[in-house]
Every structure is written in structure tokens, then in C-alpha cells.
Amino acid sequence: MDSLAGGAKTASRHDVWVVVEQHDGVAAEVSLELLGRARELAHRLGVGVGAVLAGAGEAAKALAPALVARGADTVYLADHEALADYLALPYARLVAGLIRAHTPQIVLYGATTTGRDLAPRVASALRTGLTADCTDLRIGDHSMKDMEYTDLLYQVRPAFGGNIIATIISPEHRPQMATVREGVMVMPAADPERSGEVVTVDFAPDPADLAVRLVRRVQEEKRVDLKGARVVVSGGVGVGSREGFALVEELARTLGGVVGASRAAVDAGWVAHDHQVGQTGTTVRPKLYIACGISGSVQHRAGMDQSARILAINSDPGAPIFSVAHYGIVGDLHKVIPLLIRAYRTKGAAGDGAAAPGGAS
């Protein structure tokens, strides 16, 4: 058995950590969301929250107070040229070294392309458990082979194409590590009054870590803000064609919403991948989600079933989407969507004179 929480105890308590992802001094939203959940877990365990912040220069450094405001008690700040851009080898060496030195009991990463590149490398180096793409984290107990384990991290995630929900534990290895899907934890409010400590970390990369070079990074302007949308209007295979999809777009425009899509619609080439909602796309929780011609696979439902209200329009009354919907319309979306557009324009005009009904067409 690997030792619980390791041998050398440089800290008296085993904290809950978040490995923060930042680009150009802007933290990934999921990192801030995780600080909120880390706060709750740490409170339950009676320990503190640590945040690992790495980068080069002032921009990264300037993030530390924001991390404290969102819930970190200690920010481990590593400032080194080799950490300017995310690269697996120097980052894995840094994070694994910090974990060995400070023995946190839980380490969380965003389930982004960066987090899912870094966390497995660290888990392998530390020979500890890692659960991918979690959608919930809780503290609980477990008994196994006459052993009682208390205060374990329950790592909850969909598996098997979303057909099952598994709760994973790592009873005998520390730290317990998980990557967590973006958008499933609630973003904590920033509290500028919170106080925390910034610990500057010495970092010396191994020359071999610098063998991989970033040639270029192209970040396209983010045009689709599904996560922040109040209204999402999504189309699926039932839309039938690229032309049919224009109707979905018109409804989204009319309602001031954002266009979403099922994987089938994306695969059909009717709409770009950055509109995809679901397990392999974006997780959304708008005030209103309108599913047009989407049958509602588990993979799709996993990305939208937390929406405040869901309206499903489908010609098949047996479509699984109706089981998560609050409102259902069984009918031809090519007839129903124009009815919705007209209804909104007239009601909207009656209720609010400032909304120009012609402006959206």
C-alpha cells in the first residue's frame, strides 16, 4: 500500500488543491469554478484550499489575489520562463514536485485539453489514482475488506457513452485526483475581503523537459458563447438540412439566444462544432433550452438537462428528449418554429415597446 498522504509532512494539514489553468493572465473559468467546490470540500474536511498558479512574468502573478477572492487560502506561485506557455513536461514536474512537498489529500484539475494532458502525467509519476471528466465531487465513507475508509473523495462521472454514472474512489492512494468538466460546478462569487497567502515556489526545469517546443498557438476569437447564453436554441437531425437549420438560427436570433446543436447536426455539417451541446461539446444551463428535432441521446442530455426550462419540439412523441423537457410540442418543427417566432414578436412588442419587432428579422 502506498502511504496515506505521503511521508514528509511540511504542512500540518492535507489541503484540497486546484491546479489553475491560465493563459495570458486570464484564469480558465473551470479553475475558478473548482475553487468554489474545493472550498466546500475543504470546509467539510476541516482543511484549507491551495491553488497552484504557474506562468512567467507579471500577468500570471497578478492573478493570485483573484484566486484568493474565489476561495484559495494558499496560492503556490511558480514564475519561470519555462512555464510561460503550458507544456506537459515542465508543468508535470512542477505539479508533481509540489504535491510531494506539501502532500495535499485532493488535487483537482479542469477537464480541459490542458488538464487532461497534465493530470494523467502527474498521476503516473506519483502512482496515484485519477478520475477523468467528473461531473460531481462529494466527501463520503467506504468499507471494503474489513477496512473502513472515512472522508474519501467520491468522484462521480458518466461512463459508457453516458449510459451509466459511476462513483469512483481512491481509498489507499494520495492525493485523490480528478479532472472536472467545465460548467458543472457553480462559479463562486469573488470576495475581495478574503485573505490568503502567496507562497513563491522555486522551480528548476530539467533540460529534458524543454525538448518539446511550442511552435505556435492559435486561439480563434470565441464567437459562440453557449455557456453564458440565457437562451439556447438547438437543432438536431430532425431539422433535416442546412437550410432547415436557418430556421433554428432565426428562432435563436429572435429570442436573443445562441444556436446550439446535437452531435448529429454537427456531423452532418449543418453547423460548426463549437455549437455542439453535450458530452463531447459544451455543457449548458441556460434559463431556456429549446431542442428542435433532437431525439435526446444520453450524450446530449448530459450537456443540457440542468437547464432551468426545457422545451422540446419533435415529431416523434416517443423521443427521449421529452423525458427531460418541461414543455413538449409534438409536431413538425418547420411549422412550430415559425409559430414561436411570430408569437414572440407579437407578445414581445405588446409587453415591451422598446423591442423593435422588425429589428430581428
Partner 1 sequence: MPQLRIVVLVKQVPDTANVTGEAMKEDGTINRAALPTVFNPEDLNALEEALKLKDRLGARVTVATMGPPAAAQVLRESLYRGADEVVLLTDKAFAGADTLATSYALSLAVRKLGGADLVLCGRQAIDGDTAQVGPQTAEKLGYPQITCVSRIDEVRPPVVAAVSGGRRAGGHVTATRSIEGGFETLTSPLPCLLTVTGEANEPRPPSVKLVMTYKNAAAEALPDYDDSYLDPESDEAEVCMLDRHGRPVCRAKVLQWDHVALEADRESLGLRGSPTRVKEIESVVLAQSEARMVEPSEAGVNELVHELIEEHILG
Binding positions for partner 1, 275-314, rule CB under 8 A: 279, 287-288, 298, 308-309, 311-312
In whole angstroms, how close is the CB of 137 to partner 1 at the nearest point? Answer: 13
User: Judged by CB, which is closer to partner 1: 149, or 249?
Assistant: 149
Location of C-alpha cell 508533481: 96
Interface with partner 1 by CB under 8 A: which range of 4-12, 57-65, 186-194, 345-353? 345-353
- Judged on CB neighbours under 10 Å (0-12, 13-18, 19+), 149 is middle
Binding positions for partner 1, 164-223, rule CB under 8 A: 164-173, 211-220, 222
Spell out, one character per residue from 259 to 278, where the chain touches partner 1: x when CB under 8 A holds, - when not: ---------------x----
Q: What are phi and psi of 231, to 5 degrees?
A: -130, 130
In whole angstroms, how close is the CB of 51 to partner 1 at the nearest point? Answer: 20
Location of C-alpha cell 415597446: 353
**Among 344, 349, 357, 360, which residue interacts with partner 1 (rule: CB under 8 A)?**
344
User: Judged by CB, which is closer to partner 1: 84, or 88?
Assistant: 88
Binding positions for partner 1, 72-111, rule CB under 8 A: 87-89, 92
- Taking CB under 8 A as the rule, does residue 356 contact partner 1? no
In whole angstroms, how close is the CB of 49 to partner 1 at the nearest point? Answer: 23
CA nearest 92: which of 24, 19, 30, 33?
A: 19
User: Judged by CB, which is closer to partner 1: 68, or 231?
Assistant: 231
CB 17 within 8 A of CB 175: yes
Binding positions for partner 1, 150-169, rule CB under 8 A: 154, 158-169
The answer, yes or no, to whether the previous bond of 357 is cis (omega within 30 of 0) is no
Instruction: Calculate the CA dihedral of residues 214, 216, 217, 223 and round it to 10 degrees.
Output: -170
In whole angstroms, how close is the CB of 251 to partner 1 at the nearest point? Answer: 11
Location of C-alpha cell 512555464: 83
Give CA–CA dist 91/272, Å, rounded: 32
User: Judged by CB, which is closer to partner 1: 86, or 245?
Assistant: 86
Q: State the Cα angle at 48 between 98 and 188, rounded to 5°.
A: 105
- Taking CB under 8 A as the rule, does residue 339 contact partner 1? yes
Give CA–CA dist 280/300, Å, rounded: 9
Give CA–CA dist 302/293, Å, rounded: 17
Q: Could you give the 3-state DSSP secondary structure of residue 360?
A: helix
Binding positions for partner 1, 219-258, rule CB under 8 A: 219-220, 222, 230-231, 255-256
